[in-house]
Structure 1
């Protein structure tokens, strides 16, 4: 056998091994990439994903069991959980520097709302997370221009069956359970203007869009239930910015905050009901 034939056989064997390795470890690689991108925008160990399945020849990607942790200071372990994600993508696009994704379908997302009043002040987890994501987007946008990593363009992202659940408490306004269904919505051309963005930035854009929808629904739901239209927006601002910018009476707000810390919000609400 000639040396040229031997060399060709070695090259073919190496290619087969490379393709075989890619096929064998493709799902683990995708899963690791998704977890790393989530952690990049939310912090270390914030993202868990049960499984990822990439169909190289069928042009599809499925993610199952995605959960995102609440920031420190909240009791619930997660603020986000999702049953499944289906992505339409081609093998040719995966090998390119810029990956164009025709469509992504998010189905069965759950956002868990939690309000906290403690020595650190009043906080709402979705507002805390949204501020964090917006800060991360500025940083990721700066890194995007300098990075040589793969970029993404999402032509169409559809979110359906988005549920917002939890317990919402407005100091001085009352408390009510949250159980809302957000209508299906679509985001188009993510990253198109920038000619592609990093995966971490895609994650941030999608999460901010969902949280914005959730906050709108909470404002509307609270106004209907508590019959104090307009005060809900000030109440949410109270969580996000503090007493001074909330529009609430500072003395009343300070007293409510002190009472909530010392006695617990549940006891405070019971007392207010007895006084009526």
Structure 2
């Protein structure tokens, strides 16, 4: 059990939000606590998890009900929520380095992107915060370990899939309105590479890449909606001008 408890199987951070997943026979509650604690270190926002279920001998695991709170300056309560995260663990790699996760499937992801009147966004703020804190999380964990503790294992994830993210983009502060869309599956490949990444860094990297993909789609939505808004305003002005001309005649 001590050996199993020392193996970090996968760490995952996601809306908008940080998820940290530690494998070990009866460590579900410990895992839940680690997800919430390290997740807050990375995002500087509250991370909540409903439950964790690890089946190491079957090479599987799941995390149910994950939410990442928004900053106080934003109206939405959450930046990101996940219905379920399932993992396909390469059991044969548990005695090697890096440990390999064949796939992480994120089901029912929901991202809530909000813009302020100045053009700031909760999603961009979150990505910047994660980028700033990724190296620090690994150092904090390392500093708490004794000199005799085994070095943190390295992990590599072959594929991460965000299945059909439900995206809400609120442009109300920019004179527009709230828009909703379902994004195509977002697929990230070969996170960590052949050498792997320390467990305390991998989750942040995964989440940063996932949120960056969502942010790219968000900017496209913002651009199209504001362009449409500007076009509609021009059309309204043209109609008003024509109406004035006809009324004069």
Q: Same fold (TM over 0.5)?
A: yes
| Alpha-carbon distance in 2 for matches of 1:116, 1:47 | 23
Q: CA RMSD in A?
A: 3.3
Selected match of 1:154 from 154, 157, 181: 157
Which residue, 113, 134, 142 being the options, matches 2:131? Answer: 134
Q: Give the gaps of 5 or more residues in structure 2.
A: 6-23, 146-150, 231-236, 241-249
Give, in whole Å, the separation in 2 of the partners of 1:200 and 1:168. 35
Higher RCO (CA-CA < 8 Å; seq separation 6+): 2
Which secondary structure does the structure 2 equivalent of 1:76 belong to? coil
Matched residue count: 206
Moved over 6 A (4+): 141-147
Aligned to 2:14: none
Q: In the superposition, relative to structure 1, how do residues 175 and 199 fare at CA in structure 2: closer, same or farther (>3 Å)?
A: farther
For 1:57 and 1:47, the matched residues in 2 are separated by 28
Whether the 8 Å CA contact 1:37–1:199 is kept in 2: the answer is no
User: Deviation string for 1:25-75 (max 9, x for gaps)?
Assistant: 3222222232233122112x6211100101122110111001111123222
- Distance verdict in 2 for CA 1:93–1:54, change over 3 Å: farther
1:1-276 maps to which residues of 2 (within 5 A)?
Answer: 23=25, 25-43=26-44, 46-91=46-91, 93-94=93-94, 98-117=98-117, 123-140=120-137, 148-169=151-172, 171=174, 174-192=175-193, 195-227=195-227
Distance in 2 between the 1:150 and 1:34 partners? 17
TM-score (norm 2): 0.70
Q: For the Cα contact (< 8 Å) 1:38–1:200, is it kept in 2? A: no
Could you say what secondary structure the match of 1:227 adopts? helix
Measured against aligned partners, the alpha-carbon deviations of 1:130-177 in whole angstroms (never above 9, x if no partner) come to 111111234457779998223221111111111211412464xx3121
Q: Please give the alpha-carbon distance, in whole angstroms, between the structure 2 residues aligned to 1:178 and 1:137.
A: 31
